[in-house]
Amino acid sequence: MVTYERAVEAAIAGHADQFRAHTGEPFIVHPLRVAARLTWPMFEEDDAYDARVAAVLHDSIDAGHARLDETTLHFGRHVLTLTERQAAFLDAVTRREGESDALFFARVLAVRGARWIVIADCEENLADLPTPHPQRAAYEAAIKVLSGHIER
């Protein structure tokens, strides 16, 4: 199992030379803020911990810095063995190249609780974007679609 602390260490190392486009802040502040937005009432039992691990690592794969092989995340010099739940969250919230919104949302909604990670990610991205900005509408639409879903 990857601890939250280990995930943070890997994310700090993996995003060391990256900066947020609109704020100039070190990139690592983004995944840490996404994880901080996740609260226990959003999840069943122990899922909040695993969701926070996935949130810290959520930009590693789609940024091309990491590869997920089932439950093993190869992230630079770090090799992290995730729990099945951590891997499920991370896989669900990682957008595929060229993937439509509909397919992405369907995969996110198929993993109970994963929508909260994407909603937190969109909220953090919106907080960093200037107003107006062409990407704002896409983040707002994603929040609306995912917030309206009732998990069973």
Sign of CA dihedral 135, 108, 49, 2: negative
Low-confidence stretches of the chain (pLDDT < 70) are 151-152
Q: Are 51 and 116 in contact (CB under 8 A)?
A: yes
What pLDDT score does 75 carry? Answer: 87
Sheet holding 66-69, edge to edge: 66-69, 72-75, 78-81
Tokens of 118: 């994407």
